Structure formats: structure tokens, C-alpha cells
Amino acid sequence: MKPFVPQLVYFEPNALEYPLGKELWDKFNSMGLEIRKTTSHNQVRNIPGDTDLEKYRVAKSTLVVGIRKTLKFDSSKPSAEYAIPLATGCMGHCHYCYLQTTLGSKPYIRTYVNLDDIFNQAEKYIKEREPEITRFEAACTSDIVGIDHLTHSLKKTIEFIGKTQLGRLRFVTKYHHVDHLLNAEHNGNTRFRFSINSKYVIKNFEAGTSPLEQRILAAKKVAEANYPLGFIIAPIYIHENWKEEYSDLLLKLSEALKHIEVPDLTFELIQHRFTKPAKRVIQKRYPKSKLEMNEEQRKYKWGRYGIGKYVYLDDEANEIKEIMMTRIEKFFPQARIEYFT
Ligand code: SF4
């Protein structure tokens, strides 16, 4: 799979006052991309397309280069103290992606060029928490690796955090374009996580992302570059032959990593769930999706803000957990596992 190239690029005029903004302007011009101006990255108008669906598709391959004005970082508890805002939006077409609902009518991709402001803010947060560690999550609102071959903002962030005593960085990706990150001076302060799944889930619900084999190969390179490594398997989804396919996934992974030392390997496992608002958006944007979201076959679990989730019935949930945990414990006895039903 080729690295992402935007179909259309917008610039906030002030972005050109920053070195990264200027660099991206020159780069996209020399690539011959269509470039437009926009007053604000929050108000990009006139994205081409005759229908909502067409506009959505074009937006998913539109990159907006802007300035991050809100420098108050969101919380990313429990796995990190803060979400570090490097980008918003993603070019992937994962049907179940929670950005479908959280980004609402702004599915285009935004990258922020005022990195020094963002790093200064991160430094303040680290200072406030001294002598505790402060963890930053870089993939709360995007798949940052998927666009980093263009911007290198993630690479700069890895190196910035690498220089701190008490800062830590983490992110997750479904993309394999990691080569430029391998020589970053991370000093062990960045945890690189790959999102992986069964053949069926990737084929049917993760359009526009890297194939499994490429993700695993990238994970191998990342482990060889001595980054702390982790995997997320989410959503764990019941489909025909799911037990065999998830076992096969873990076997493949253990084969790939067998000659590499991976200290402190982590797994995060999350079973499939959906909310009613998410279901509505998914059905609108991916009308032919095979993603099963039948409320009657699920258990309702109360959630925050009054929006409950539909999770697997207890028997199914227990079976998934049992199978996944035993397989991981068998292939990766040293791994730390976090499990969410
Ligand atoms: S790659 Fe990640 S962020 Fe992008 S659409 Fe898929 S799930 Fe969402």
C-alpha cells in the first residue's frame, strides 16, 4: 500500500509563517497538488462532491494545514494524562472508527504546524506533574503515523519527548510507513503500538489502511529500533471462523517476532461494541457495510453522557475473553495484557 497523498490541500494563510507550514507549501506545490486557502481549519467549506457521501469521501483525502490555537490538551485517561494535538482526522475508512461520530461534519484531516507552541505546552504539563511521569497520547484524534511521511511532526515529537526525563509518548497505527521514524532518538520514551485484527475484519471493515503483513513487518522494524512495542486488537468481532482467524493472527505475530527481543510487550484488547448514534453514522457513510449492529442480539451497557453501548452477550463476551487470553498467554507469556469488554 502506497503512502497517503492528499487529493486536495487547504492552507490557513498564517500557517506559512511557520517553518513547517512553508515547507509543506513548497512540498505540495512541487507535487502538483491542488492547493486552496481557508480562513480557519475549523471552517473548511466547498469540499467538492454532489452528494454528502461524495463530499465525505473527498474530505477523507483532504489535508488542511493550520495552526492549533487551543493549547489546552484534552485528557486521555486512563492510558495517558494528555492527548497531544498533532493532527485531527484520518484517511482510513474503518467502518467502526469512533472518529465517525466525534468529528461529525469535519472528517477532513488537519495537521498543525505550530509545533513549538505545542511542545512548550507539553513541557508545562510535564513540569506541573514533576516528579511524576506525564504520558501523552498522539493518536486520540487521528492515525498520526499515516500522515507523518509528509509532515514529520510525529518524528519531531518523538525526539522532543526523547529529550525529557519525565515525558512519555504513545500512539497507535494501522499504517506501515515507519521507516523515517526508525532512526528517531526516542530514548525509550515512546511506545509504538500497532492495531491488528483478523483477516475478515481487516478485509471487510478497514479499507484504506495497510495490510496485516505490512503492519507486522513494520512492528518488527520498530522492535529492532528498540522502541517499546505494543499491539491493540480492537474491535474483537465475532464472525465466521473468528476463533481460527484470531488464533492465526497471534501465531503469525509470534512467528514474526520470535527472534527479536521485545521487553515489556503490551496488548490491549477491546471487544466490539457500538452506540446508537455511531450505528446511524456508519449506516449512512458505509451503507453496504457488513458490520453487524443488531441491538437485539447485544447487551445494553449504560455509558457516560447517557449514551449506552451495545456489547456482546455475557456468554459470548466470556468466550472471546477466554480464547484471546489463553492464546496470548501461550504465544507471549511475558506480555502485559489489558482487556476491555
Ligand atoms: S486507521 Fe484508525 S483513525 Fe483511521 S479510520 Fe481507521 S480506526 Fe479510524
Instruction: Return d(Cα 285, Cα 288) in angstroms, integer.
Output: 9
Separation between Cα atoms, residue 102 and residue 84, nearest integer Å = 17
Chain segment 29-38, per-residue pLDDT in tens: 999 999 999 9
**Rounded-to-integer distance, Cα 64 and Cα 123, Å:** 26
Ligand 1 center to 208 CA (angstroms): 9
- Distance between CA atoms of residues 123 and 102, nearest Å: 27
Ligand 1 pocket test target in 4, 61, 93, 94 with most atoms within 8 Å of CB: 94
Q: How far is the CA of 100 from the centre of ligand 1 (A)?
A: 9
- Per-residue pLDDT 10s for the chain (341 aa) are 999 999 999 999 999 999 999 999 999 999 999 999 999 878 898 899 999 999 999 999 999 999 999 999 999 998 999 999 999 999 999 999 999 888 888 999 999 999 999 999 999 999 999 999 999 999 999 999 999 999 999 999 999 999 999 999 999 999 999 999 999 999 999 999 999 999 999 999 999 999 999 999 999 999 999 999 999 999 999 999 999 999 999 999 999 999 998 999 999 999 999 999 999 999 999 999 999 999 999 999 998 777 899 999 999 999 999 999 999 999 999 999 999 98
305 phi/psi in degrees, rounded to 5: 55, 25
Q: Find, among 268, 193, 273, the residue nearest to 227 by Cα.
A: 193
Residues 37, 43: contact at Cβ < 8 Å? Answer: no
Is the separation of the CB atoms in 193 and 233 below 8 Å? no
Nearest residue (by CA) to ligand 1, atom 8, is: 97
Report the nearest-CA residue for atom 6 of ligand 1.
Answer: 94
At which residue does the C-alpha cell 487547504 appear?
Answer: 10
- Pick from 26, 29, 33, 30: nearest CA to 5: 33
Q: How far is the CA of 197 from the centre of ligand 1 (A)?
A: 13
Mutate to test the pocket of ligand 1, among 99, 193, 202, 204 (most ligand atoms within 8 A of CB): 99
Q: Using the mean position of ligand 1's atoms as its centre, give its distance from the Cα of residue 209 in Å.
A: 8
Ligand 1 atom closest to residue 209's alpha carbon, by position in its atom list: 1
Atom of ligand 1 nearest to the CA of 96: 7
**Overall pTM > 0.95:** yes
Residues whose beta carbon lies within 6 Å of some atom of ligand 1 = 90, 92, 94, 97, 99, 143, 174, 209
Residue 306: per-residue pLDDT? 76
Name the CATH code of domain 8-255 (choices 3.80.30.30, 2.40.128.130, 3.90.1170.50, 2.130.10.10).
3.80.30.30
Please, are residues 223 and 259 in contact by the beta-carbon 8 Å criterion? no
197-213 pLDDT, tens digit each:
999 999 999 999 999 99
Q: Which helix (H) or strand (E) holds 339?
A: strand 336-340
Count, in order, helices (H) and strands (E) of the chain.
11, 17
Pick from 12, 151, 17, 128: nearest CA to 73: 128
pLDDT of residue 305: 72
> In sequence order, which ranges of the chain are alpha helices (DSSP H)?
19-30, 52-59, 99-102, 115-129, 145-151, 153-162, 199-205, 212-224, 242-257, 276-285, 314-331
Kindly write down the DSSP assignment for every residue of 216-242, as one continuous string: HHHHHHHHHTT--EEEEEEEE---TTH
